[in-house]
A and B are shown apart, each in its own frame.
Chain A
Amino acid sequence: MILDSKIPDGPLAEKWTKHKFNVKLVNPANKRKYEVIVVGTGLAGASAAASLAELGYNVKAFCFQDSPRRAHSIAAQGGINAAKNYQNDGDSVYRLFYDTIKGGDYRAREANVYRLAEVSVNIIDQCVAQGVPFAREYGGLLANRSFGGAQVSRTFYARGQTGQQLLLGAYSALSRQVANGKVKLYPRTELMDVVTVDGKARGIITRNLITGAVESHSAHAVLLCTGGYGNVFFLSTNAMGSNVTAAWRAHKKGALMANPCYTQIHPTCIPVSGDHQSKLTLMSESLRNDGRVWVPATVEIAEKLRKGQISPNDIKEEDRDYYLERKYPSFGNLVPRDVASRNAKYVCDEGRGVNETGEAVFLDFRDAIRRDGEDTIRAKYGNLFDMYQQITGDNPYQLPMMIYPAVHYTMGGLWVDYNLMTNIPGLYALGEANFSDHGANRLGASALMQGLADGYFVIPYTIGDYLAQSGYDKIESDHPEFKKSEKEVKDRIAKLLSIKGEKTVDHFHKRLGKIMWDYCGMARTAEGLTKAKAMIKELKKEFWTNVKVLGDNEELNQSLEKAHRVADFIELGELMVDDALHRNESCGGHFREEYQTPEGEALRDDENFAYVAAWKYSGEGQEEELVKEPLIFENVKLTQRSYK
């Protein structure tokens, strides 16, 4: 199988403009003859659904929450990047492009990333026009901050609630189209399968989460904007309902899954406090602008701390190891996420962790408070400090915060070409659900940018190219393919309900999460991954013979919802392990202990691994087939990342 990424010819900076000119257009009067299904109403889905409806397409939008406004994008805190160069500090489309390629450790497509940087400026204009209240300077113009290791200030933000404000903007545009009758909303509805007819995506099967009804919806194109799969680790910063089900069902219908092992572990999260933990809370990365990361210099001091014999404030300056500042003098506390996370793991593995579990490091604002005063720090981070205190019971103005890395984002996802189409014609993937733009590591404030770029500014052009060529003949939702998929979904539901085993769904999810975190988390080895694979296979068998799903289908049944999701996570977990095992190099969020420089940095192997690993489902219980899309770099020179 050969993957065609459909990257347009020509110089990098002209590709998108040329492509927009070359794509086929759907005549305005014909647009209303097309139906488009958009699954997901996060930044990617809401922006796509609204923009397509504005153009005249008939859209059906689905989400599993009770309202489209609650998609997980709402939780993003820090900000959104755009190459506006409003600060006159040397930013440009090219610099944002370059930073993203480099930050992604040279595992993303140049053409996609350049386009992302190019349309980033339009996103901010669009959001402001909608009334999104970004932070402003006293002169009334937009404020920016530097974020996540960028050396220019290109991040736009709305206090610590940027995702909320952007999503509410997209949701308002979506709501307007609902009022116009161009979008029909299906909240509390979960995608159960993707339906293909003659090789093309022609619809989906859903389950109504209130009544349990299994239904068919047909369309001329299907967009999956269903977010990331970080919850495969059980504990992550993702919302509780975030899942891989839509992408995974598409995968089993033939869509390739790309780079599934690339996961991002965010360095600044509140540490796990006990077995009851249901999710992890992110503390915005912006805190690293003023907070200093440290652990005690010796294991002895750390032990005393853990036993509660001393308080962090008792530890003298010379007994503190500001390890990021020590190892990376030029970036210090602002090194990229993967570097910061891995180093936290190292010092904790050495026994220098600072909380009861030994898995936490300090993020200390003492010096910033001395320098700028408590009021200034409160003005910048007050809501985050309050949230921290609410969750941990500690006052971060007086005691250093404790943080530890947690799973946060998944760079991998459905393989898409330059048009955001998967290898199944008519099936698109947008936002975190696709693998496209972040390579092996995503920069801070770039996911919001990508979701909105995909939805507002890419798909409205690229979908027309496909629709114009595929015609608007209607496929009825009682076509045999729909009936067949419906039956498969119903059988699967019946199967889950009939097992009546002994262990709850959460029990399996927690076990899967532990396997993934221990062997496919921050640091991976061939040995560990091989072990994990066997464990997951075993877990899968046990799940399908011993899971307990209570209640019936014909009602609101949260255990059944979870059971579907966890069953898919287990299968995805196995593929992630395969992908991590095959990639005999370290890059970005994928760190294989066997492949590191003498200083312990990720060691890439560009000669053998500068490709996208796309996996093809080969049937129940079969090993998946690896299809490679070589990455060709014509504009940037591949170098070893260095943040020293």
Chain B
Amino acid sequence: MNLTLKIWRQKNQSDKGGFKEYKVSDISKDMSFLEMLDVLNEQLSDKGEDPVHFDHDCREGICGMCSLHINGKPHGPLQTTTCQLHMRSFNDGETITIEPWRATAFPVMKDLVVDRSSFDRIIQAGGYVSVNTGGVPDANEIPIPKRIADEAFDAATCIGCGACVAACKNASAMLFTSAKISQLAMLPQGQVERKERAEKMIAQMDAEGFGACTNTGACSAECPKGISLTNIARMNREYFSAVVSSENV
């Protein structure tokens, strides 16, 4: 396949940035999208041009490090991560537009690399069960119905990639935040801090500059892990019951 790539280039956080066009040829359908970018980068390096910077690590769809807005969609046309997208999803002669995630809370660091540390801070605000190492009960002393364990697991599979934010016209981080709040709200281990957790994580989410949720559902539709919108509904319930009973109000 021969392709034209329209890629966002930006030297650093303060640079204005803009699109640049590149051509790549002899791309095999079996290549992953990132391997196609590797080919481009080898080509650029050979010519002495700065390679296109993008984030990636596991290339197995699990670390959440890869990003990229491809032809207007986070992680491209399929509901998977960019690293798991293969070139057989594209056609010979096509022009592909590649941009970084766009959100105030995800500033661009260089080219396609963004800073997602706001997500870490949301987790730091309360995305945990406060137990120290040691001194915990035997694992089987906390029986959990399989259905609930499975549902909590589904919420826990979020990879923290940020596609939900990138997909949302308001750049809302509700899906990400609700996935963690839901996981812990469903499990017995999460009950003790349930209210406080919802309040604190949501407050942090707002403080980071993420937008509000207007129930468009683009986040879940683009989420590579299929994190469900029911998590947002659950989070709203959690939040509501937390604020009405909170000692902080």
Contacts and interface: CB of A to CB of B under 8 A. Distances in A.
Interface residues on A, range: 35 or more
B28 A276 contact: yes
Interface stretch (A175-183, A192-200, A626-634): A175-183
Given A176-B130, A550-B48, A556-B113, 5 more contacts: A69-B123, A129-B142, A133-B149, A168-B156, A274-B31
Contacts of B139: 84, 124-125, 127-129, 134, 142
A456 B133 contact: yes
B38 A550 contact: no
A159 B153 contact: yes
A276 B38 contact: yes
A261 B146 CA distance: 43
A189 interface: no
A142 B140 contact: yes
Nearest to B56: A240
Contact of B57 (A141, A179, A185, A241): A241
B136 A125 contact: yes
Interface stretch (B60-68, B164-172, B209-217, B235-243): B60-68
Given A70-B65, A210-B109, A276 B35 contact: yes
A271 B231 CA distance: 38
A51 interface: yes
A138 B29 CA distance: 43
Interface of A: 47, 50-51, 54, 65-70, 72, 74-75, 84, 86, 122, 124-131, 133-142, 158-159, 161, 163-165, 168, 171-173, 175-176, 178-179, 185, 187, 210, 239-241, 273-274, 276-279, 281-282, 387, 390-393, 456-457, 460, 504, 506, 548, 550-551, 555-556, 558-559
A550 B142 contact: no
Given A67-B160, A556-B53, A278 B34 contact: yes
B120 A68 contact: yes
A560 to B, nearest CB: 11
B100 to A, nearest CB: 13
- Identify the interface centre among B123, B129, B189: most chain A CB within 10 Å of its CB: B123
Interface stretch (B1-9, B69-77, B80-88, B90-98): B80-88
A373 to B, nearest CB: 21
30 contacts: A47-B133, A66-B55, A67-B117, A70-B57, A70-B160, A74-B58, A74-B62, A74-B64, A75-B60, A122-B134, A126-B133, A129-B129, A129-B139, A133-B152, A134-B149, A136-B145, A141-B140, A165-B153, A165-B156, A168-B156, A172-B123, A172-B128, A175-B120, A274-B28, A274-B31, A276-B35, A278-B38, A460-B133, A504-B42, A504-B46
Contacts of A390: 80, 84, 86
A601 B57 CA distance: 36
A460 B132 CA distance: 12
Contacts of A548: 45, 48
Given A133-B153, A133-B187, A276 B57 contact: no
B189 A161 contact: no
B110 A556 contact: yes
Given A66-B115, A74-B62, A141-B143, A125 B137 contact: yes
B104 interface: no
B88 A393 contact: yes
Interface in B118-162: 119-120, 123-134, 136-140, 142-146, 149-150, 152-153, 156-157, 159-160
Main secondary structure of the interface of B (DSSP, over half): loop
Contacts of B39: 276
Given A54-B132, A54-B133, A70-B57, A161 B86 contact: no
A66 B153 contact: no
B110 to A, nearest CB: 4
Given A50-B133, A75-B58, A173-B133, A136 B146 contact: yes
Contact of A130 (B64, B131, B137): B131
B20 interface: no
A380 B137 CA distance: 30
Given A75-B62, A393-B30, A158 B153 contact: yes
Given A66-B115, A179-B124, A504-B42, A550 B183 contact: no
A140 B145 contact: yes
A62 B129 CA distance: 23
A188 B172 CA distance: 25
Contacts of A68: 120
A126 B189 CA distance: 11
Contacts of B129: 129-131, 172
A199 to B, nearest CB: 31
Q: Most A CB atoms within 10 A — which of B42, B127, B137?
A: B127
A175 B184 CA distance: 15
Contacts of A276: 28, 30-31, 35, 38-39
A49 to B, nearest CB: 11
Contacts of A391: 32, 84, 86
A473 B137 CA distance: 38
Contacts of B120: 67-69, 175, 178, 185, 187
Nearest to B133: A51
A128 B189 contact: yes
A558 B140 contact: no
A125 B117 contact: no
B132 A278 contact: no
A392 B126 CA distance: 40
Contacts of B159: 164
B134 A126 contact: yes
10 smallest CB-CB distances across A and B, nearest first, come from: A140-B143, A172-B128, A129-B136, A133-B153, A128-B139, A51-B133, A70-B63, A556-B110, A239-B57, A136-B149
A239 B31 contact: no
Contacts of A456: 133-134
